[in-house]
Structure 1
């Protein structure tokens, strides 16, 4: 009996000794926050961004990553800000409480700007894949970055392009009065003036409007040949349909938010000839982007909607910063972000001292036979 008890005791000791080793070998979950509008009018864009970021985490986890010699598994902590600045601040605080080491988001500039203050206080690195209002990085926060050019660059490039390349003589401008739309229209107007172009009228709407006929009638009376719209794709599609119903021949031009499947579906034949100067290279022709689109569809059973590649690259840059820091400490990750250099789906990702992308490219897309086709890529002079 004594020998039997001894053997049992040794077995128990061996089992207990083995259990901690098994647990130690299990990867530690590392939370990266993700925030976008996942409900409401632009929920499809939010899901598109979420899937792009998730694909980057899937790719990284397949490599069995380690941080500081310890195995980790990256997990996306997904939050819905409903495109509402007040809710954006609430979910930002929740992500802080959840212990995330970084955040991918937000989409709307009107959400990113107030939420960035929360992340700044918590020393959490934030990379937005879609907010382009220049004010976001002008706040001086060292933890804020983005993976596409901001409107202070893109809007100006678009304004100059319309005058110098499209040879527009009489330009009308409409914006949706949001931080994104108004800021973009302001920058566009600046670019037009730099190129000595002629804006004959500027009109304002809101991001919930569906009837633009009064505004369009005014612009029609001014004989505009190009209408620039600072707003999102669904409204842009309704706008161009109403332009055609009023017999307007003016061209609709956007800068960064018209090119989507939703625009094509809503606008239909009326959208033919619409042009949009989008951040990034000609993704429809880039091999890396084409391969990404195939993997994206295989994983999520849908086509890329709009900015999934930029969300993928944002997550890629965040993961690189974590590896470079060799730590899960938020302050160390923020400290490593400015030095990140990585080649993603949209090209080279590297940041200037403000957190903006260095020399971001822009590509002109046009609706041809019901599809968005890239026409030419325009280099910007700086960030």
Structure 2
């Protein structure tokens, strides 16, 4: 398995992981040879990278973070409720959300159970999905990230439940934003951006009036765009006045936004998303929370081509729990010459550093593409 940019796909390459839509339906199945038409369509849909079969790395596999059953059920729950709010009258919004609270709490319990039962680092790159409505998948992804951060910070069970529910609902206020602004593919005008920024306040106003949802969950909606230096919105509050959940959501929200496929820009890889966060560490984002997040996620996903500082090139073979940026690398080239593959464990070879990541398919040639 190799992670390859859709820009470098070639007809005949074999898909090693299926492409799904957000309902969990397979669009292109594993083992299917890609055609020119398929490649063109994937590029048009904004898919940034795919997993391609490769003879030398065929045993390397990425693992799902949560089961397909829980993932699909969660997305469906979010979609159903959010769409009802979008189409309902303002006077009905609170009733619709309150009616869904029990179901949402069940989602959080299921997700927490799976996260606690797994020692694997968190990676959402293992599933390649095409989303008709980004907000539903984003809400679920931010929930996963927030809960993992909360677990790293040793939050208590009740705190995790409130954090999870707040994360699930952090963008519900966008259902009150006009559709032409919410789904606009290009850059928003200043007036449109000012309207979009109101979603934080809209969500807070809706959630805080639901008796079955804690006020801290409402603050997730209100505060997830606030920043430590006061440059955020809607109120421009500074670090000491931002609730812990707001600081957690800020990190999870930005990371998922930059590492997800969007119509107006390609997705970043996890290590690139972390660089965005660290660039704002201490000024925009809480350093302790970023560090907790880093410990919990896969920084270099399986199948990613990497180059070490000594010039050797290989593919990430597997993760080392507790050392997210020190995976095991299967070496395939030395000084641009293909060699018999062997593995190096970066937790044991402490002098080795990853200096470059690549999504090109230079090493996929001939029969290796057609496994």
TM-score of the superposition, structure 1-length normalised? 0.29
TM-score of the superposition, structure 2-length normalised? 0.30
